[in-house]
Amino acid sequence: MSDYIQKDTPQYSKTILSLFLGSVASFGAEYCVQPIIPLLAKDFSLTPSIASLAMSFETGGMALAMIFIAGIAERLDRKKTMSIALSASAILAISIAASTNFYLILGLRLVQGFLLAAVPSLVVAYINEEFSPDIVGLVVGIYVSGTTVGGLLGRFALRTLTDIFSWRTGLAAVSVAYFIIGIWFTFSLARSKHHKPSYASSIGFFRGIRETLLNKKIIKIYMIAFVSSGSFVAMYNYITFPLIAPPYNLTQTAVGALFTVYLVGTFSSTFMGRMSDKYGNGKVLSLSLGIMLVGAIITLLPALV
């Protein structure tokens, strides 16, 4: 009998829960300063663009670390690396809550980005290696839905706690929750059965990166991710501008409600994952990009509804 994780088994439920909560904690930690950027600007007497570097440093650290991970992925123990990344990034978030120097916060965010890069990259590798091939798409979909829940829940909890107490108390509280998830993840996620960290067979750091960058299929996937997530972010960043201007004149609250559309992603990621198991990744990806394309064109219509 195959020792891959099969659907509807106790191990499946336990591993899915670990991965889901792991993605909630990692995305929660990633976006933990986004709602408090205006408060950072006020507390440290910064301009909004300088205060927003607290997000940019984390993203930059993540992008840099992704390149390193591509070169050493085969040497990394999946579970150990992800567990350390989750717990350590939560501790760094607690340090940010206690920090009285903005430049120290930027440094901590950079390191946090370095650590958190390990989670999405190794989770996908772990799922591919440990789960039965016919449910890989579904499991990746569930993981992605956890990222949307983590992003939304983290921001909502932090915003609420900040309103009641202060941004420092709010950030410390959500970070402690992420730390507890990190510890729980360490003990609940099963060790890799199909991947052994290998130094002997390693093809070397720079060669690993080179081979990754020379793989045409991987480059295509990178380009699709770069273009589609960039377009998605650009759309959400700027759609508020035409909506609050004439002829629509929507209020900030009405425009804010638009972001609940994010929740569609929580369900659609699992649905699309299941569809990709059935019909193939490329077909489902093409369909999703086609829907995005039509959606972008629809925004050109003058009518709001």
Q: Is the four-CA dihedral 92, 93, 95, 96 of positive or negative sign?
A: positive
Please identify, using beta-carbon distances, which residue of 53 and 86 lies nearer to other proteins. Answer: 53
Q: What is the 3-state secondary structure of 189-214?
A: CCCCCCCCCCCCCCCCHHHHHHHHHH
Q: What are phi and psi of 43, to 5 degrees?
A: -65, -40
Please identify, using beta-carbon distances, which residue of 37 and 97 lies nearer to other proteins. Answer: 37
Please identify, using beta-carbon distances, which residue of 165 and 248 lies nearer to other proteins. Answer: 248
CA gap 274, 281 in Å, rounded: 10
CA gap 235, 244 in Å, rounded: 15
CB of 282 to other proteins, least distance (A): 3
- Please check whether residue 138 is in contact with residue 97, taking contact to mean a CB–CB distance below 8 angstroms: no
Q: Which amino acid is at 37?
A: I
Is 6 near other proteins (CB under 8 A)?
no
Please identify, using beta-carbon distances, which residue of 196 and 217 lies nearer to other proteins. Answer: 217
Is 67 near other proteins (CB under 8 A)?
no
Is 227 near other proteins (CB under 8 A)?
yes
CB count within 10 Å of CB 122 equals 22
Among 67, 223, 254, 257, the residue binding other proteins under the rule CB under 8 A is 223
Among 166, 192, 231, 266, the residue binding other proteins under the rule CB under 8 A is 231
Is 220 near other proteins (CB under 8 A)?
yes
| 209 token code pair | 């990166």
Among 300, 303, 304, 305, the residue binding other proteins under the rule CB under 8 A is 300
Q: Which amino acid is at 177?
A: A
Among 183, 242, 248, 258, the residue binding other proteins under the rule CB under 8 A is 242
Size of the site for other proteins (CB under 8 A): 31
| 58 token code pair | 């984390």
Is 234 near other proteins (CB under 8 A)?
yes
> By C-alpha distance, which of 151, 175, 184, 173 is closest to 28?
151
Is 256 near other proteins (CB under 8 A)?
no
Is 250 near other proteins (CB under 8 A)?
no
CA gap 65, 118 in Å, rounded: 8
Q: Which residues contact other proteins (rule: CB under 8 A)?
A: 217, 220-221, 223-224, 226-228, 230-231, 233-235, 237-238, 241-242, 280-283, 285-286, 289-290, 292-293, 296-297, 299-300
